[in-house]
Amino acid sequence: MTEPVTICEVGPRDGLQNEPGTIPTADKIALVARAVAAGLRQIEVTSFVSPRAVPQLADAAEVMAGVGRVPGVAITALVPNETGYARARAAGVDRVAVFASATEGFSRANINCSIDESFARFAPVFRAARADGIPVRGYVSCVTDCPYEGRVATAAVAAVAGRLLAEGAAEVSLGETLGRGTPDQVAAMLDAVLKVVPAARLAGHFHDTGGGALANVDVALARGLRVFDAALGGLGGCPYAPGAAGNLATEALVAHLHRLGHATGVDAGLLAGAARFARSLKRGAEA
């Protein structure tokens, strides 16, 4: 029996955060409900950042109130600092996520600080989460290529991933932000990271700009990773990564994993409906 794989659904946060048109709060709540109904058990719902920085997610508290606590589902929110953590904790999240970069250029463009400064911001989050018993997920962006610095050294990725683990991250998600990474690049990166972070504590996060995300998933599967991020309908992209397409579509990932014999606990039929709904939100925001 092939080992089960867990999918972390990031569409409600990473998928919608950069849409220019306002998406109604009720539709965001409905998207999460559809994801839950399809069997997804890890869902990143929103982000408690400044509304000025990410206007699309200014309704974070309202979305969380509408979603509520879902038995058997880990509801996650991204937090930038201690203030964001306090808001997320008050809203009732099950876990939080922090965001780091493997390159200085992307760190400064995306969160307006150096890598070291980002870890200084995270430190109080890790302390508070540890005291509260809240797991922290750490993201590392640009694990193969950076829009500002080009090819990323594998040692740089391993260093940031190792720092997140040392701070207390329960899981480290490796983000191939531009969707340019080849299987050979991903393999070399993972070989470096696995020297400092065990596969059981890693997740793969692949964008599908060049259509190679599933090939990179296969590389990660072969190295023991069993958690992957994806977004319903392939929503996503990053304003600080020109040309980056959306995240790997959850429905494509699930179909691929099922073909390989991995159990996901996801109902493909209900997932297809959730994906259609996700794509309709994007079209509605563009209208």
Query: Which strand (E) or helix (H) includes residue 109?
Result: helix 104-111
The residues annotated as belonging to the active site are 238
Amino acid of residue 74: A
CB-side neighbour CA atoms (13 Å) of 14: 34
- Give the length of the chain: 287
Q: Between the CA of residue 53 and those of 50, 57, 80, what are the distances in Å?
A: 5, 9, 11
Q: Between the CA of residue 279 and those of 11, 17, 85, 231, what are the distances in Å?
A: 10, 14, 30, 10
The set of residues, in sequence order, having a beta carbon less than 8 Å from that of 261 and lying 6+ positions away, is 1, 2
Q: Which residues on neighbouring strands pair with residue 206, listed in sequence order?
A: 176
Which of 116, 159, 183, 168 shows the shortest CA–CA distance to 138?
A: 168
